[in-house]
């Protein structure tokens, strides 16, 4: 079973990996010897993946629909991971096959094979948009993210090429987000048609214009940086099972792209501090959505232990928090329309998440942003003193 859009367990969109399929793939990797055994099936919904036991080690095999990730799409991620590993970040090793290829296409599928990092997959069954188990773990996640950002400096690859399921930052990085929105949507014909029929985009731009106006004067200070863009608890490996567990490795760079550090911090907060699934299941009561402010400030505190934020970065965090999900929501809407041919699921991504989140930030979530603005002003006075 896979994680459903409302938090329930559902039949997966993509068929689970089969043992014969894995045997055939691994025959091209001289490093791995059988017998092979599938130890798990990942519940994450956007691909199919399993932990596989080989004769000598456990590995992680992941299969993508080729329309979602082709070989070059995975190479974009693998190059970033290799850069981080070379600069001291614990990330999975991507294994190459006998032809020295880190990604393999076979028919409609694309495969990658990773090592399993040291540590514990503490949140392996957790759904995205669920909180940390403790303040200490949130703080450790902030430390891990800051280390990733320091290591990412010098990785000068351009933004990713046109493909679904990427959390970039181009629309609200522009002086004119409406024009940038149109430029983003135009080559995605299914998305463009859906937005024209639904009218979802017009309301989103109206709701988010206030936050873009707040962010705009701060944008020049947000230096471009390749970022993870999906650092929630289940994309970290942990030292142990205690509430004081420390993040020891970072996994799943599928949404990574060239953005900036504040965009990545905002994603980490947005993914785990606000319990959005409550809003999905009870949209009539936005005030009932739990927000873990103690985790939010612990994450930022941990981050600043390693990489202190500039005044402009602190001030940018509140508006970026309201804006950061928009581009990925559009990308996910496009994925549901093109890869899954499902307007029902596209509704969740566009009306449910993109528009729903924007309304929440302008309503019940305004208090969260106000608290962040006060924190930024107070930290500014502390640093000045």
Domains and CATH numbers, the chain: 2-115 (3.30.200.20), 135-384 (3.90.1200)
Q: Note the pLDDT of residue 7.
A: 84
pLDDT score at 129: 82
Cβ(325)–Cβ(263) under 8 Å? Answer: no
pLDDT of residue 270: 95
For the residues 301-318, what does the mean pLDDT come to? 98
Between these two residues, 382 and 139, which has the higher pLDDT value? Answer: 139
Q: What pLDDT score does 385 carry?
A: 65
The pLDDT of residue 128: 80
For residue 383, pLDDT over 80 is answered with no
Each residue's pLDDT tens digit, 170-201: 999 999 999 999 999 999 999 999 999 998 99
The pLDDT of residue 384 is: 72
How do residues 21-66 score in pLDDT, each as one tens digit? 999 999 999 999 999 999 999 999 999 999 999 999 999 999 999 9
Average pLDDT estimate for 188-216: 96
Residue 326 has a CB neighbour count (10 Å cut-off) of 28
Nearest by Cα to 86 from 152, 39, 171, 181? 152
| Among the listed residues 231, 363, 189, 243, the one whose alpha carbon sits nearest the alpha carbon of residue 291 | 363
**How do residues 318-357 score in pLDDT, each as one tens digit?**
999 999 999 999 999 999 999 999 999 999 999 999 999 9
Asked if 237 contacts 251 with a C-beta cutoff of 8 angstroms, the reply is yes
User: What band does 205 get if pLDDT is binned at 50, 70 and 90?
Assistant: very high
């Amino acid at each position: 079973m896979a994680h459903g859009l409302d938090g329930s367990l559902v039949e997966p969109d993509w068929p689970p990996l089969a043992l014969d399929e894995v045997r055939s793939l691994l025959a091209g990797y001289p490093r791995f010897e059988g017998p092979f055994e599938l130890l798990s099936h990942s519940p994450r919904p956007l691909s199919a993946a399993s932990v596989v036991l080989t004769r000598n080690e456990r590995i992680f095999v992941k299969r993508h629909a080729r329309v979602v990730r082709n070989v070059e799409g995975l190479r974009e991620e693998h190059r970033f991971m290799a850069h981080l590993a070379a600069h001291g970040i614990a990330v999975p090793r991507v294994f190459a096959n006998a032809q020295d290829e880190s990604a393999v296409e076979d028919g409609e599928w694309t495969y990658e094979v990773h090592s399993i990092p040291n540590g514990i997959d503490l949140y392996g069954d957790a759904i995205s948009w669920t909180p940390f188990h403790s303040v200490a773990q949130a703080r450790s996640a902030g430390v891990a993210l800051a280390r990733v950002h320091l290591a990412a400096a010098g990785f000068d690859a351009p933004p990713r090429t046109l493909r679904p399921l990427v959390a970039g930052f181009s629309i609200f990085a522009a002086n004119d987000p409406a024009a940038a929105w149109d430029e983003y949507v135009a080559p995605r014909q299914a998305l463009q048609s859906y937005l024209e029929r639904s009218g979802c985009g017009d309301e989103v731009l109206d709701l988010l214009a206030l936050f873009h106006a707040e962010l705009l004067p701060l944008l020049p200070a947000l230096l471009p940086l390749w970022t993870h863009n999906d650092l929630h608890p289940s994309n970290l490996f942990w030292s142990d099972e205690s509430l004081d567990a420390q993040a020891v490795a970072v996994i799943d760079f599928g949404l990574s792209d060239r953005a900036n550090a504040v965009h990545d911090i905002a994603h980490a907060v947005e993914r785990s501090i606000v319990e959005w699934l409550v809003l999905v299941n009870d949209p009539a009561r936005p005030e009932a959505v739990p927000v873990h402010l103690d985790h939010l400030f612990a994450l930022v505190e941990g981050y600043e232990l390693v990489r202190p934020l500039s005044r402009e970065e602190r001030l940018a965090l509140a508006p970026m928090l309201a804006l950061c999900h928009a581009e990925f929501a559009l990308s996910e809407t496009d994925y549901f329309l093109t890869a899954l041919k499902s307007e029902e699921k596209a509704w969740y991504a566009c009306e449910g998440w993109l528009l729903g989140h924007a309304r929440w930030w302008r309503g019940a979530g305004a208090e969260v942003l106000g608290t962040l603005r006060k924190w930024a002003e107070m930290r500014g006075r502390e640093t000045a003193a």
